[in-house]
Every structure is written in C-alpha cells, then in structure tokens.
C-alpha cells in the first residue's frame, strides 16, 4: 500500500512539475487576461442578455484586438524612436569624451571603458528588438485567455464557490468579498487616474508647444491607453515629447516638459494619488496600499501591483477575524 502511495505521489508531483513549467512563462498574460475579464464582466453580462455569451465575448475580444493592435504599433514606433535616439546620444557623448585631453591618465581610462561599454550597450539595445516576438506571443495568449474566460465566466464563478470549504465557508466568503472590494478599488483608481493623466498630458503638450491641438489630443489619448499597460505607463509619451523638443534645440522646454510629466503624469501620481484612491475604495490604510504595491512589484514583478494590495487586505481581514475568535 505504501509503495503504491509513493508511486502515485511521484506521478502526481511529476505531472504538477511539468504543468508548472508549461505555464510558468505564460502566467503574466493569463493573469492580466483574468484581471481584464473581471473588469469588463459587468459589460459582458449586459451584452449576454441581449446576445448570447459567445457573441458577447466575441464582440469584446474583437474590440480588445483592435485596441491592442493600435497600442502595439504605437509602442514599437515610439519605443524604437526613443531608444535609438538615446543610443545615438550616449554614443555621441562617449565619442566626444575621448577627444578630451584629461590629466592623470583619465583619457586612457575613458577609451578602455568605451571599448568595453559600446558592444555591451549595443547588445542591450538589440535585446529589446529581439523581445518583440515574445511580446507578440504573450499578446496572443492574453487575447485567447480573455475570450476563454469571458465565455466560461459563469461556470468559473460557480466552480469558485463550490471549492469553498464547508466548515469555514463564512470566512472564505468574507475573504472573497475583501479581495473583490480591493480589486474593484484598484480598477476604479486605475481608470480615473489614467483619464486624468491623459488630460494633463494634453495640457502639457499645449503649454510647452510640443505639437498642435489635435496632436496633443492624440498624445493624451495614447497616455490613457499606455497607462493601462504595466511598466510602460504614460512616461513614454512625455519622454517622446521631451526628446522631440531636445532634437529641435529647445533644451529648457524639454527639461520643463520632463519635470511636468514626471510630477503630474508618471511616475509620481502612481505612488501618491493611486494609493489614496485604492485605500478609500478598499477600506485599507494608504501606507498598506503603498507597501502592497511596492512590495508586490518587488516580489512578483508587474503583477505585484495588483497582487500586493489584495494580499495585504486579506491579511487585515484575517487579523480582524482572529480578534473576534480570541475575544
């Protein structure tokens, strides 16, 4: 009996290990597909009443594909421009530094550093180019999972409640409610803040004369879209604007736009205003939200911005239940 148990235990562990290795590289697109599904679920439910679940999911997925395609094209174009401009400026600066005559043998040190730095820096820049296919593959997984989760949303919801333990069902339901509250607050804060970022970016492009009014509107719209893409955020737009001004010789205006964007668009609002909005909606302390965001991002990467605050809110809920039990 023990031998059979050990054999089957080994088989189960092997299967779980292989399954984990299979999906571990795809966890990010699956995770964010689940978050987006949760966010649009109320819309999907309303559409399902008029259409059926599959047609509703198809409509929303088609809309997602159109938005994702537009964002991807803009990301590649803008990121490529900024990256190549940055690369050219760094190489130009390094080349200029070699022409200087410096004391104490510093010229030789700079030349040796340049000889080692240039190939490594070029390799680092090229790594972004080669990461594009990987990004596109993750995007495909993201879209497929989004459609799948929408179509099966009701069944998944029922399965979650069936998996709740019978003995501590009340506690499990409280934890689910707490997680739901935090996730709603995160999504609401993300939406409101991103719209505000877009408006401020449009104003910034007009004030600092980066472009005409229609282009400034487009810049604001792109800021809103990019702000929903973790890691990229709205800083890419003001950085592109600052590089454009810098290329035109408007150094002071470029610096002012960068300062404006840094303070009012990204990243300062992400660590000041967003925690306040989330804390208010999730009934959690601002410091806890900020710790959850930073600690979560540190431990889990971009996913941690969502996971961190939810986990800390669940800890608070468990502590409250523990107090009730120990009274």
Reported as a single tens digit per residue, the pLDDT across 229-248 is: 665 667 878 888 888 888 77
pLDDT at position 82 is 57
pLDDT at position 165 is 74
Token readout for 87 is 């690369």
| Rg of the chain on CA atoms, in Å | 25
Residue-wise pLDDT for 70-87, tens only, equals 777 766 666 666 556 655
Distance CA 81, CA 240 (A): 8
| Locus of tokens 């235990």 | 9
* pTM recorded for the entire structure: 0.69
pLDDT at position 85 is 62
Torsion of CA 252, 257, 259, 261, to 10 degrees: -170
Residue-wise pLDDT for 220-231, tens only, equals 888 887 777 665
Q: What are the CA-CA distances from residue 168 to residues 38, 130, 161, 311 (Å)?
A: 25, 49, 12, 19
Distance CA 193, CA 274 (A): 7
Residues 100, 93 contacting (CB under 8 angstroms): no
Peptide bond into 267 cis (omega under 30): yes
Q: Name the stretches of the chain with pLDDT < 70.
A: 1, 74-132, 229-233, 325, 327
- Residues 6 or more apart from 251 whose CB is under 8 A from it? 245
pLDDT at position 277 is 83
């Amino acid at each position: 009996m023990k031998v059979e148990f050990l054999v089957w235990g080994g088989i189960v562990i092997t299967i779980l290990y292989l399954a984990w290795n299979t999906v571990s590289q795809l966890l990010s697109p699956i995770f964010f597909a689940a978050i987006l599904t949760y966010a649009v679920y109320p819309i999907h439910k309303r559409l399902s009443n008029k259409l059926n679940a599959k047609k509703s999911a198809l409509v929303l997925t088609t809309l997602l594909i159109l938005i994702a395609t537009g964002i991807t094209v803009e990301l590649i174009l803008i990121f490529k421009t900024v990256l190549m401009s940055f690369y050219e400026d760094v190489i130009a600066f390094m080349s200029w530094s070699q022409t200087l005559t410096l004391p104490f043998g510093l010229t030789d040190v700079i030349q040796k550093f340049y000889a080692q730095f240039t190939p490594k820096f070029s390799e680092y820049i090229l790594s972004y180019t080669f990461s594009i296919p990987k990004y596109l593959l993750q995007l495909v997984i993201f879209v497929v999972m989004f459609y799948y989760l929408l179509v099966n949303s009701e069944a998944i919801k029922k399965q979650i409640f069936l998996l709740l333990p019978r003995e501590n069902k009340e506690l499990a339901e409280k934890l689910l409610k707490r997680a739901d509250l935090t996730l709603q607050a995160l999504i609401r804060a993300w939406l409101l803040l991103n719209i505000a970022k877009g408006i401020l970016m449009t104003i910034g492009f007009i004030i600092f004369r980066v472009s005409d009014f229609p282009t400034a509107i487009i810049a604001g719209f792109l800021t809103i879209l990019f702000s929903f893409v973790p890691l990229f955020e709205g800083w890419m737009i003001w950085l592109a604007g600052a590089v454009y001004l810098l290329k035109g010789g408007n150094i002071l205006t470029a610096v002012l736009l960068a300062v404006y964007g840094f303070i009012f668009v990204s990243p300062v609002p992400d660590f000041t205003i967003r925690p306040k909005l989330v804390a208010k909606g999730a009934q959690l302390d601002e410091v806890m939200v900020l710790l959850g965001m930073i600690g979560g991002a540190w431990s889990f990467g971009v996913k941690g911005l969502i996971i961190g605050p939810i986990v800390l809110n669940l800890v608070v809920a468990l502590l409250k239940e523990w107090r009730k039990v120990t009274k």
